[in-house]
Amino acid sequence: MTQPLVLNWEQISSLLDEIEIHQPMKQAFIEYSNGNAEIPPVGELLFDQPPGEVHIKYGYIRGGSFYVIKIASGFGENNQLGLKPGQGMMLLFDIATGIPKAVLIDQANLTDLRTGIAGAMASNLLVNQDINSAAIIGTGVQARYQARCLMDLMPIKTINVWGRDSDKSKALQKDLSDLEVDLVIHKDLAALVSEARLIITTTSSKKAIIQSDWVQPGTHITAVGSDTPEKCELDVNILARADIVVADSITQNELRGEVHQALKSGLIEVSSLIEIGQIFEGSAQGRSHYDQITVADLTGVAVQDLVIAEAVYKAAIS
């Protein structure tokens, strides 16, 4: 049997300029919402000492050529060891035979990238189209990906950043200095949220950091940080107020993320939710007027891992 292709992150990153993910990911979300994907519940390991988490996501799209198994971890204290907090790999298999085709040792970077792309797509889909500035809450890896991916899709002129640690905010500002955008650090979160009409949350908070009365009409929020049952970035009343609440996977969001918290509080009903794939397809309507408040709660679906792993593999063998 032919051995699977094995690529490390350096090799994978050299291929990224050759691949285009937006249209395949859009179609993957549509296929998922149409019931054409097999995505089992997320596997999860949580650790106390040292604190960390491991997510296992896997699945396939009917009619496709591959299935994927993705293992991605986050160990925050790795920074103290000189290691990247995110680790992991994506495993790509032939769907007809089960033969392993690729082992992508990506250090969770492909997960971060596909999350950034999906977040930017959701923001672009639901925000008022005259918006030229964004507020990013958080200063970690995903804040960087959200900024870069957003710039690929929208004419953003100003990115306003809030983080708990001023040194990390300055490091983020430096890391994004190559972007043609004004990046402004803010200390007053309430004031920033009140002024912003596009807000992207990227923290690992387990307590709501954005309060409902800060959020003004016409605001869109893309929440990507809350991907476990314990995490929570948004006051649940924001989802109760929202005119539209969008999930990447309603089934998955019932168990994790901002939607999970609001459902648990009894403030929203599952029947009120729509999936991003439905809006992409046109079977559900997104924003319909300027003053609506919209929220996209993205917990990350395995179809995203599938399309990015497949794209990397095809680029590598072409």
With a cut of 80, say whether residue 254 has pLDDT above it: yes
Chain segment 195-225, per-residue pLDDT in tens: 999 999 999 899 999 999 999 999 999 999 9
- Segment among 54-58, 76-80, 240-244, 266-270 with least mean pLDDT: 76-80
Chain segment 98-133, per-residue pLDDT in tens: 999 999 999 999 999 999 999 999 999 999 999 999
Chain segment 168-186, per-residue pLDDT in tens: 999 999 999 999 999 999 9
User: Which residues, other chains included, contact 211 with Cβ-Cβ below 8 Å and sequence gap of 6+?
Assistant: 190, 193, 235
Percentage of the chain with pLDDT > 90?
Answer: 94
- Residues 183 and 175: their CA atoms lie apart, in Å, by 11
Q: Give 228's pLDDT tier (boundaries 50, 70, 90).
A: confident
- Residues 20 and 315: their CA atoms lie apart, in Å, by 10
Tokens in use for 29? 């979300």
Where are the domains positioned within the chain?
Answer: 5-110+303-317, 112-301
Does residue 56 contact residue 42 with C-beta atoms inside 8 Å?
A: yes
3-state secondary structure of 145: helix
- Burial label, 64 (beta-carbon count in 10 A; 0-12, 13-18, 19+): middle
With a cut of 90, say whether residue 84 has pLDDT above it: no
Give the mean model confidence (pLDDT) for residues 140-149: 96
Which pLDDT value is given to residue 145?
97
- Residues 146 and 212: their CA atoms lie apart, in Å, by 23
Tokens in use for 51? 């604190």
Q: Give 1's pLDDT tier (boundaries 50, 70, 90).
A: low
* DSSP-assigned beta bridge partners for residue 100: 93
DSSP E strands: which ranges in the chain?
A: 5-8, 37-38, 43-47, 52-61, 66-74, 86-94, 100-105, 133-137, 158-162, 182-186, 198-201, 220-223, 244-247, 274-275, 294-297
- The DSSP code for 307 is H
Q: Which residue has the higher pLDDT, 275 or 83?
A: 275
Which pLDDT value is given to residue 183?
96
Decide yes or no: CATH 3.90.1150.10 for domain 5-110+303-317: no
Percentage of the chain with pLDDT > 70?
Answer: 100
Q: How many H-runs (helices) and E-runs (strands) does the chain carry?
A: 11, 15
- Work out the number of other CB atoms within 10 angstroms of the CB of residue 264: 13
Which pLDDT value is given to residue 285?
97
Q: Give 240's pLDDT tier (boundaries 50, 70, 90).
A: very high
Decide yes or no: CATH 3.40.50.720 for domain 112-301: yes
Give the mean model confidence (pLDDT) for residues 11-38: 97
Q: Rounded mean pLDDT of the chain?
A: 96
